[in-house]
Amino acid sequence: MAPAAPSASAVPSAPADDPNASPDAILVRRTLAEIAPVSDQVTSYFYSLLFVRHPDLRGLFPVAMDAQRDRLLKALLTAAEHMDSPAVLTGYLRQLGRGHRKYGTQATHYPAVGEALLGALSRYASSSWDDETEGAWVRTYTTISQIMIDAAAENELHAPAWWQAEVVSHDLRTSDIAVVTVRPDQPYPFVAGQYTSLETPWWPRVWRHYSFASAPRPDGLLSFHVKAVPAGWVSNALVHHARPGDVLRLGPPAGSMTVDHSTDNGLLCLGGGTGIAPIKALVEDVAEHGHRRPVQVFYGARHDEDLYDIETMLQLQSVHPWLAVRPVVAEGPSQGLTGQLPEAVREYGPWHEYDAYLSGPPGMIRSSLDALKGAGIPLERIRHDSLEELVGAIG
Ligand SMILES: NC(=O)C1=CN([C@@H]2O[C@H](COP(=O)(O)OP(=O)(O)OC[C@H]3O[C@@H](n4cnc5c(N)ncnc54)[C@H](O)[C@@H]3O)[C@@H](O)[C@H]2O)C=CC1
């Protein structure tokens, strides 16, 4: 199985006393250790410097930045921490560079960001900051920004910075979950199991991640399952305001929770809540590939009535003999199993000839990872979107 494209949270923290660390990495990590206890102040100061010195860049960020204000800085710091592992980081940075095209980011903006980064670090890591450390950060940031700039330039040759997509149907399945289907203005290539970033006209420059709820379709339409979460600007707009005719913007596809077609292993899929969306896409993907493998889906919800897509999943089961779908309900009377997803999965199996695909709330992913490792599925055969991406999806 190909390694998952790393995200900031998928990359483990670099060990502080790594004997193989390069001289630059040692200095960079020393700065990071010093700013860790004051990361909020560093973040505020970084953006203040950026916007005061370059007011023209303010327009690239959302008006209210609370929800996502430290994503850029966090991504840069994570990348810097791991610059000694370029093989792991290049994929992450290339995706970051491509993804920044939708914000209107230009190659010429990177020096301004670098300047603000060094300004914030030198102020808050003042006891360890010296010329050598500054040199290490300049080299590190130059490498990071060049990978992002190159990836964006390459991507520009064959893909738009974003897609306009018109809502063609809006199906309110429960009081707070809608299935929204859109028609992009140009072909949108993606692979089942991936996700996109989505912006609504009501909250300009506020982007949220949603998985494609179907494998690529001949008519080119894309569907998303959206749950309105408390104080979630984008999700509430999509569930309660969006109507056919509204036009959204989509960023490029991302994510590596895709079916590995080079193996015959079965697929064990755990979908919790709206996390069932990419699982449905994976099932359709297996159906479209001639060689059928056993696919076992455990579909979790808090209550029976929250299983908003169970009809679709059972319909797929009725036409595909290789597919088993089991609803698992945490509380109350149930048409299926009762309890949490990891417990339900433990009661079935054996699973050592299966690859696992996990999609749902971060707590579910964490507990399922433990259960599946315990059931004999090695970590490299368990795929899930990074927990950071999931957190970025909320709202
Ligand atoms: N909409 C989409 O395209 C996608 C959404 N997601 C994520 O899926 C989540 C869906 O949220 P909701 O529908 O509100 O789900 P939910 O909170 O109603 O929970 C769904 C299932 O997960 C279980 N669960 C929750 N916390 C758990 C824990 N700590 N341990 C074990 N099981 C746990 C619940 O019992 C239930 O079976 C969100 O976090 C979203 O970001 C993930 C991928 C795609």
Question: Does residue 9 register a pLDDT over 70?
Answer: no
Distance 275 CA to ligand 1 centre (A): 6
- pLDDT on residue 332: 82
Q: Whose CA is nearest to atom 41 of ligand 1?
A: 390
- pLDDT on residue 119: 97
**What are the structural domain ranges in the chain?**
8-156, 163-250, 266-393
Question: Does residue 365 register a pLDDT over 60?
Answer: yes
Q: What is the 3-state secondary structure (H, E, C) of the chain?
A: CCCCCCCHHHCCCCCCCCCCCCHHHHHHHHHHHHHHHHHHHHHHHHHHHHHHHCHHHHHHCCCCCCCCCCHHHHHHHHHHHCCCCHHHHHHHHHHHHHHHHHHCCCHHHHHHHHHHHHHHHHHHCCCCCCHHHHHHHHHHHHHHHHHHHHHHHHHHCCCCCCEEEEEEEEEECCCCEEEEEEEECCCCCCCCCCEEEEECCCCCCCEEEEECCCCCCCCCCEEEEEECCCCCHHHHHHHHHCCCCCEEEECCCECCCCCCCCCCCEEEEEEEHHHHHHHHHHHHHHHHCCCCCCEEEEEEECCHHHCCCHHHHHHHHHHCCCEEEEEEECCCCCCCEECCHHHHHHCCCCCCCEEEEEECCHHHHHHHHHHHHHCCCCHHHEEECCHHHHHHHCC
Distance 360 CA to ligand 1 centre (A): 4
Question: Does residue 2 register a pLDDT over 50?
Answer: no
- pLDDT on residue 16: 55
- pLDDT on residue 394: 46
* CATH of region 163-250: 2.40.30.10
Compare 301 and 59 and report the one with higher pLDDT: 301
Q: What is the pTM of this model?
A: 0.88
pLDDT in tens, 101-136: 999 999 999 999 999 999 999 999 999 999 999 999
- Read off the pLDDT band of 91 (50, 70, 90): confident
pLDDT in tens, 291-319: 779 999 999 999 999 999 999 999 999 99
- Read off the pLDDT band of 388 (50, 70, 90): low
- Read off the pLDDT band of 14 (50, 70, 90): low
Domain 266-393 part of CATH 3.40.50.80? yes
Asked whether this complex has an ipTM greater than 0.90, the answer is: yes
Which of 15-24, 154-163, 317-326 has the least mean pLDDT?
15-24
Which of ligand 1's atoms lies nearest the C-alpha of 273? 13
pLDDT in tens, 307-352: 999 999 999 999 999 999 999 999 988 878 899 999 999 999 899 8
* CATH of region 8-156: 1.10.490.10
In the structure, which protein residues have their CB atom closer than 6 angstroms to any atom of ligand 1?
Answer: 210-211, 225, 227, 272-275, 277-278, 300-302, 306, 330, 340-341, 359-361, 363-364, 367, 390, 393-394
- pLDDT on residue 78: 86
